[in-house]
């Protein structure tokens, strides 16, 4: 059964709009878990635009399911991650100017440095997932550097304008999953997924975890985080897909 990772960064985005204490992502996390979240994800960005160090510290105290820390490979952030001991880190590329993560990590060109980074986390008992585009060379490089998981970037599927381009992107993702599974990599997927477009992903991709943020937090503004998560969980809970 596909697990749901809920990215609660944008609860903190609303808080940081006023640099105040509310809404608190640390309160959102257990409510998301009550709604059915299997994983709580936050991205501690170098510019601290939403999630703050204190959030990560406190989330470690309150999340008993799986805490997934999305992060760049900046040394300062890696040190915080090692100290916090989330169950999993997802390594992503990070640019200050971007609105959200654009494109996957270039594992191929950073193989040397990633081998050491993955080893550092693995030695600390932390699972490593690499957020990559569904390209064969990036997938096999992820295996070579020792990552346990990859997270396939679904952004191109989410942004596809018509059915033909959507199908093409789904085919690419399906092929990526197959390549990864042959290499015995565990496969997650995420980015840009919504209540409207998640169905095809669930039907087509044999993945372990889906990571969804913006759409769930947007709905939560109107219906509350627990309900927003449970509605998404209903869309991905398909017991007939025996995997």
Nearer to ligand PXP, 33 or 71 (CB): 71
Closest CA to 199 of 217, 186, 187, 212: 212
Tell me how far CA of residue 1 lies from CA of 33, 137, 174, 240, in angstroms. 17, 28, 17, 10
Query: Considering the complex, what minimum distance in angstroms separates the CB of residue 43 from ligand PXP?
Result: 5
Overall residue count recorded for the chain in this entry? 243
Nearer to ligand PXP, 17 or 240 (CB): 17
Query: Considering the complex, what minimum distance in angstroms separates the CB of residue 242 from ligand PXP?
Result: 26
Tell me how far CA of residue 19 lies from CA of 165, 220, 225, in angstroms. 41, 20, 21
Tell me how far CA of residue 90 lies from CA of 71, 163, 196, 224, in angstroms. 6, 30, 25, 27
The catalytic position among 43, 50, 153, 211 is 43
Q: Rounded CA gap, 134 and 169, in Å? A: 9
Query: Considering the complex, what minimum distance in angstroms separates the CB of residue 173 from ligand PXP?
Result: 14
Nearer to ligand PXP, 38 or 70 (CB): 70
Q: List CB contacts of 124: < 8 A, sequence separation 6 or more.
A: 82, 85
Nearer to ligand PXP, 7 or 226 (CB): 7
Tokens of 18: 């006023």
Tell me how far CA of residue 147 lies from CA of 16, 128, 173, 241, in angstroms. 33, 5, 19, 27
Query: Considering the complex, what minimum distance in angstroms separates the CB of residue 92 from ligand PXP?
Result: 5
In the residue annotation, 43 being an active-site residue is answered as yes
Task: Give the 3-state secondary structure of residue 242.
Answer: coil
In contact, 46 and 94? CB cutoff 8 Å = yes
The catalytic position among 10, 50, 153, 191 is 191
Nearer to ligand PXP, 90 or 226 (CB): 90
The catalytic position among 70, 94, 135, 209 is 70
Query: Considering the complex, what minimum distance in angstroms separates the CB of residue 226 from ligand PXP?
Result: 18
Residues that bind ligand PXP (CB under 6 A): 7, 9, 43, 70, 90, 92, 100-101, 131, 151, 190-193, 211-215
In the residue annotation, 70 being an active-site residue is answered as yes
Residues recognised as catalytic:
43, 70, 191
């Amino acid at each position: 059964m596909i697990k749901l990772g809920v990215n609660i960064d944008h609860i903190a985005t609303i808080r940081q709009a006023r640099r105040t204490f509310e809404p608190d992502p640390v309160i959102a996390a257990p409510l998301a878990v009550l709604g059915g979240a299997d994983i709580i994800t936050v991205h501690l960005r170098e510019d601290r635009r939403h999630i703050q160090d204190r959030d990560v510290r406190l989330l470690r105290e309150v999340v008993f399911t799986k805490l997934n820390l999305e992060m760049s490979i900046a040394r300062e952030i890696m040190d915080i991650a090692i100290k916090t001991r989330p169950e999993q880190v997802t390594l992503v590329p990070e640019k200050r100017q971007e609105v959200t993560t654009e494109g996957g990590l270039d594992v191929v060109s950073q193989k040397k440095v990633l081998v050491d980074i993955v080893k550092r986390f693995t030695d600390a008992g932390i699972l490593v997932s690499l957020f990559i585009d569904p390209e064969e060379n990036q997938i096999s490089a992820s295996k070579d550097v020792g990552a346990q998981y990859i997270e396939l970037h679904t952004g191109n599927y989410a942004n596809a304008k018509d059915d033909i381009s959507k199908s093409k992107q789904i085919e690419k993702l399906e092929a990526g999953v197959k390549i990864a599974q042959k290499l015995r990599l565990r496969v997650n997927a995420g980015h840009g997924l919504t209540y409207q477009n998640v169905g095809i992903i669930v039907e087509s991709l044999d993945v372990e975890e889906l990571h969804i943020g913006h759409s769930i937090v947007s709905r939560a503004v109107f219906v509350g985080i627990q309900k927003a998560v449970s509605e998404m969980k209903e869309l991905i809970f398909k017991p007939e897909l025996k995997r």
